[in-house]
Amino acid sequence: MEFKDSNLINPKEPKLVENKFPNVVFQKIISTPIDIPVIHPFQTFGDLGSDAVIPTENEIRDFAKGSTQSLVQMKNVFVTNEGIMYSNNVFYPDQCDCHWRVCKDFKENIYPNLKVSERIPKAVVIMHEYGWFYAHWLCDFLPRLLLLPSDVLKDAKLIVTNYASFGYECVKIAGIPKKNLLAPPADTAVFVENLYTITPLYCSHFVPFLFINMRKIIAQKAELDQTPPTKYIFYNREGSEFRKIDNYNDVLNYIKSVVPEVMWENCHIPNSIIDQAKLFNSFKVFFAMHGAAFANTLFMQPDTCVVEIQVDRWVDNYLWVTAFAQVHHFITRNSKIQWRDFGSKNYLEANDMAIIAQKAVDTVKKGKWK
């Protein structure tokens, strides 16, 4: 089925309306303020660089108490495969966070009159452009799915960027049948008579209420927090040419020699979200280079410790996650390591890593996990 509404997109003069939804008929706040009992101070090691931004305890607490999530219903709206909702030259989201391609189109005034492939009576969209990454499914999408009322989810299509195995598991956890997923082809849109979303959608906003609610639900399903954590993990990212530690074995062996009182090991991270939650729930210390695995630090137990090696691109998202989980977070940085450079050689200074490893062990031994 193909059809167009000439009033919807004018490629010559796209109009952006800030914080406005197209054809909204209902909007209601469905979250509550959160008080985080304990927020451990972040500890830094070495020069983090002038672009490093570390949230303060007050900033985290204020955000937890002040941030809100709203359920929004719209009528007769077009949705792209990147989760852009639009009608009558009103677009949401209309900012570049996690929507860099569509923002480029806005800027260059070339947003196309998209081919509309399908018309559906009811749908939910909480997707954005990075919908094929595990960490975005776990941090951006699943927390919102778990907040949607059952009457909204009933008989609704869930519009996604693509079909991914971890996406199937997310919707299963949320009680959504796999058959209800719909991934429109690239550069097309679907027309939805009744469209629902939960805001804000931007991936730079990790809302405490969403994360704590999701952790509670997954903790019940995975039977987390039943046994004390025991594992000390120095992790090397598998199956990737970027953000992989090239001298991993040398560094691991050196850490073992300097910090011999505990058993340091690598780990294999399973595909299942539930299994990943169980695995991270068993960690006393998780020491690794920044990457998607850090999304699972939400499932570590309070007073355990995370050590994050930042690279040339500074990303502070996981500092918020560990704060919500009441986990210690140590940060160091190697700016020579490229965010996505397949030709880079990612070497770490073994002595520096061993010093941080010792601090992490000392920290967890001073707390409840002696």
Residue-wise pLDDT tens digits, 62-96: 888 878 888 999 999 998 877 888 887 777 776 66
Model pLDDT, residue 224: 98
Model pLDDT, residue 255: 98
Q: What is the mean pLDDT of residues 153-157?
A: 91
- pLDDT-derived band at 100 (thresholds 50, 70, 90) equals low
341 within 8 A of 321, measured Cβ to Cβ? no
Long-range contacts from 246-254, C-beta under 8 angstroms, 24+ separation: 246/345, 246/346, 246/347, 247/347, 247/348, 247/350, 250/350, 251/348, 251/350, 251/353, 254/350, 254/351, 254/353, 254/354
Q: What is the mean pLDDT of residues 341-362?
A: 90
Model pLDDT, residue 115: 80
Q: What is the mean pLDDT of residues 244-250?
A: 92
Nearest to 358 by CA among 33, 27, 43: 43
Model-wide pTM > 0.85: yes
Q: Is the peptide bond before 121 cis (omega within 30 degrees of 0)?
A: no
Model pLDDT, residue 201: 65
Question: What mean pLDDT is reported for the chain?
Answer: 85
Model pLDDT, residue 242: 75
DSSP-assigned beta bridge partners for residue 232: 264, 285
- 283-304 pLDDT tens trace: 999 999 998 889 999 999 999 9
In the chain, residues under CATH classification 3.40.50 are 226-366
- pLDDT-derived band at 175 (thresholds 50, 70, 90) equals confident
Which CATH architecture describes the domain 226-366?
Answer: 3-Layer(aba) Sandwich (3.40)
